[in-house]
Amino acid sequence: MSKSVFARTCIQVAISLALGVTASASFAAPTVSRLTPPSNPLSADATTLSRFLPGQRFDLQATVRPDPGTTITSFHFSVDGAPLSPAVGTTSMVTTGLVAGLPANTAVVTQRAYSNATPGIHTLTVTATQSDGLVATESGNFEVIGIDANGKNVKNIIFMLGDGMGAAHRTAARIMVKGYANGKAQGRLAMDTFPYTGMVMTSALDTIVTDSAPGMANYVNGNKGASSQEGVWPDDTTAAFDNPRIEYISEYLHRTKGTKLGIITTADVFDATPAANAVHTANRGNGTGIVDQYLDDSHLTGLTVLMGGGRKWFIAKNSTASAANPVNTGNGSVRSTGTDYILPSDIVAGWGVAPGVLDPNRDLITDFQKAGFTYASNKTEMESAGVPSKLLGLFSYSNMNVSFDKINGRRGTTSIVDDYGFPDQPMLDEMADKAIKVLAHNNQNGFFLMIEGASIDKQAHLMDSDRWIEETIEFDRAVKVAQDFAKLHRDTLVIVTADHECGGAAIIGASVGNTKTVADVGTYQAAKFPKYTIAADGYPDTTDVPGKMLIGYGANADRYETWLSNQEPSQDSQQPFVGQHPLNAFTCGANANPGTQCTSAANAGAVRNISTGYLVIGQVPGDQAVHTATDIPLSAFGRGASMFTGVMDNTDVFFKMSQAVLGGTQGDMDDAHGDMDDVHGDTDDRHGRN
């Protein structure tokens, strides 16, 4: 394949002489300061340009800066030199609502929902004319990755994302739940048994260390997104929902094959990872619009199952408090106009999406039910729902309680889940089992199911080692559910990966002595092998065992450390209640785990263990550990699994999954494993991009 590259050029063509303009001003000329999709920089190869599937839809956009005293009067985009003729209503030129600092009359010009069916590198050119006749053009490039008819097609993809789950998180879960003896693991995690493993580079469009929004979106639309953005590229308008879009795999497969989408998470369902499978926004915090788009555009995504926390976004702002919504302030709703969405007409016309409306008083649960979704508010209702055609499960106000506390609740050991008001929350493996049953039922067209273990990341941020290790165990139990389905349904591909690493976590040894001071951290021979006792429910009886595994953090904030488990979780700022809620029995001050929402000066600054243990000085400002740019492991099982080896970019994973579904794969479980003659594993291959 040709790898010729069209360098970015900027040509000003003087159509007419502008009389009375000074020399310096006439040389200024209109310029294009942004061209989208992001193009390859000036380089000899084409390794970093935007890539798409044949026919995958995306928006074209440019920011054009006219000369002083002029305006932009017309524009068009061309591909490979041929002007495009967009459908009526699918272009726009916007000169208001732009970010500060742009020259007067700057125009953002857009053509929506473009696609290109021809594999190869293409030249994109924008041409804009200003009122004095001067013309600005700029060119960039993008690539269409072909699909090869090749072997057996994958029907279902189960994409499992352990948020923040790096190698250390996986190792720690294995050590805790399986145990080691004589230097060997006494068992393997389900994800350890996957036959193919690779490493993934996770960086975002604008930063080496990604957050979860592009960290997820990059996997499912094949393009690098910017920080906090989901399924869009950056633009020069201030509105969050008008950014240039990229079609998700859910939308592409639903449009071309009728594939169904499932999204399940232990987080609030508005959170970045779930939303970045179905929602397009430049601000991951716009929860009202995000959850509205789940339903409003379900005809485009094929959304069939949505489960997790996040009920606070679905409760009408003007509803009355009730036993079902027991919070101390209002009714628990956090819906607001400021986080809602309303779209410009060119997006609506181009993409066929709902226009959106600012409706904080929307009763979204009822609207889901009207659209055919069965609603479950707890584990019992989820299980008694049978196999409905569509399923919505909202098991808490915001992020669900973590497995450490859910399991202790089931054992009757602590009342944390009761204190939060949600004593009957399902585990992720129980949600996964239900989601797969609903998606697979009477489904000839296949499904894409994203399963997120969200609080591996959230608890790693808090440096609450015991909780994120148990979150990883819970996640792996869901992996087992997916793997068991794929063993029976051989046309299924299961991928286990992460969006990024969190915490710079490392297993630094095990405790010796009384486990109370830093001097008790044993390394090398002193560490020996931690021994946890696993109960019948699959989780350790206690995490405070002799020889307890100890975790250090390379991306840490200040924390107070005892090495012992925290009996109460840190307060979660995402919950709709604040401070000392009557249902939330935490106390500020002397408590071992003051949350960030506690307001007394005595506990300001540190998330946990203040006034107990000793202070570990971190390297990161604030009170939470952060993500890192370290590559993360990816493991694959089922049809097509052999494509997922080596070191991959996260966007490569999108093209490999798409090839497996659309074109098929030689890499079935019963084929020769990982041969280098596999067209999608070799070093020249465009899908592997080695």
CA separation for the pair 201, 358 (Å, rounded): 38
CA separation for the pair 190, 475 (Å, rounded): 10
Regarding 476 and contact with Zn ion (CB under 5 A), the answer is no
Which one, 67 or 558, has the nearer CB to Zn ion?
Answer: 558
The pair of structure tokens assigned to 517 is: 């001071």
Which one, 298 or 574, has the nearer CB to Zn ion?
Answer: 574
**Span of 36-44, 65-73, 271-279, 450-458 interacting with Zn ion by CB under 5 A:** 450-458
Least distance between Zn ion and beta carbon 627 (Å) = 5
SS3 27: helix
Element at 91 (helix H, strand E) = strand 91-94
Residue pair 407/419 in contact by the 8 Å Cβ criterion: no
Residue nearest to Zn ion (CB): 457
Chain mean position to CA 184: 34
CA distance from start to end of the chain = 15
**Span of 21-29, 141-149, 449-457, 556-564 interacting with Zn ion by CB under 5 A:** 449-457
Residues 6+ apart with CB under 8 A from 351: 57, 112, 113, 245, 300
Which one, 266 or 511, has the nearer CB to Zn ion?
Answer: 266
CA separation for the pair 225, 218 (Å, rounded): 6
Residue pair 459/467 in contact by the 8 Å Cβ criterion: yes
Residue type, 574: Q
Least distance between Zn ion and beta carbon 241 (Å) = 23
Which one, 457 or 476, has the nearer CB to Zn ion?
Answer: 457
Which one, 156 or 210, has the nearer CB to Zn ion?
Answer: 210
Chain mean position to CA 110: 26
SS3 66: coil
Least distance between Zn ion and beta carbon 131 (Å) = 48
The pair of structure tokens assigned to 397 is: 């106000």
Regarding 474 and contact with Zn ion (CB under 5 A), the answer is no
Least distance between Zn ion and beta carbon 458 (Å) = 7
Least distance between Zn ion and beta carbon 165 (Å) = 11
If one counts every other C-beta atom within 10 angstroms of the C-beta of residue 99, the result is: 13
**Span of 356-364, 382-390, 409-417, 456-464 interacting with Zn ion by CB under 5 A:** 456-464
- Span 25-84, contacts to Zn ion by CB under 5 A: none
Least distance between Zn ion and beta carbon 220 (Å) = 18
Quote the Cα angle for 365-368-369, to 5°: 90
CA separation for the pair 340, 318 (Å, rounded): 16
CA separation for the pair 458, 503 (Å, rounded): 10
Which one, 454 or 478, has the nearer CB to Zn ion?
Answer: 454
CA separation for the pair 397, 268 (Å, rounded): 8
Least distance between Zn ion and beta carbon 499 (Å) = 8
**Span of 75-83, 336-344, 407-415, 451-459 interacting with Zn ion by CB under 5 A:** 451-459
Least distance between Zn ion and beta carbon 653 (Å) = 19
CA separation for the pair 578, 592 (Å, rounded): 18
Which one, 429 or 457, has the nearer CB to Zn ion?
Answer: 457
Which one, 457 or 561, has the nearer CB to Zn ion?
Answer: 457
Least distance between Zn ion and beta carbon 164 (Å) = 5
CA separation for the pair 386, 374 (Å, rounded): 10
CA separation for the pair 180, 313 (Å, rounded): 44
Least distance between Zn ion and beta carbon 429 (Å) = 22
**Span of 101-109, 397-405, 455-463, 650-658 interacting with Zn ion by CB under 5 A:** 455-463
Least distance between Zn ion and beta carbon 494 (Å) = 23
Which one, 457 or 466, has the nearer CB to Zn ion?
Answer: 457
Closest C-alpha to 260, from 156, 160, 353 = 156
Regarding 271 and contact with Zn ion (CB under 5 A), the answer is no
CA separation for the pair 364, 347 (Å, rounded): 23
Residue pair 140/50 in contact by the 8 Å Cβ criterion: no
- Span 600-619, contacts to Zn ion by CB under 5 A: none
**Span of 374-382, 454-462, 644-652, 654-662 interacting with Zn ion by CB under 5 A:** 454-462
Least distance between Zn ion and beta carbon 274 (Å) = 14
How many chain residues bind Zn ion (CB under 5 A)? 1
Which one, 141 or 465, has the nearer CB to Zn ion?
Answer: 465
Regarding 457 and contact with Zn ion (CB under 5 A), the answer is yes
Which one, 132 or 457, has the nearer CB to Zn ion?
Answer: 457
CA separation for the pair 563, 555 (Å, rounded): 18
The pair of structure tokens assigned to 208 is: 């080496």
Which one, 426 or 503, has the nearer CB to Zn ion?
Answer: 503
The pair of structure tokens assigned to 396 is: 């808490």
Least distance between Zn ion and beta carbon 106 (Å) = 35
**Span of 40-48, 452-460, 548-556, 570-578 interacting with Zn ion by CB under 5 A:** 452-460
Strand-pairing partners, residue 627, are: 502
SS3 135: strand
Which one, 166 or 530, has the nearer CB to Zn ion?
Answer: 166
**Residues interacting with Zn ion, by CB under 5 A?**
457
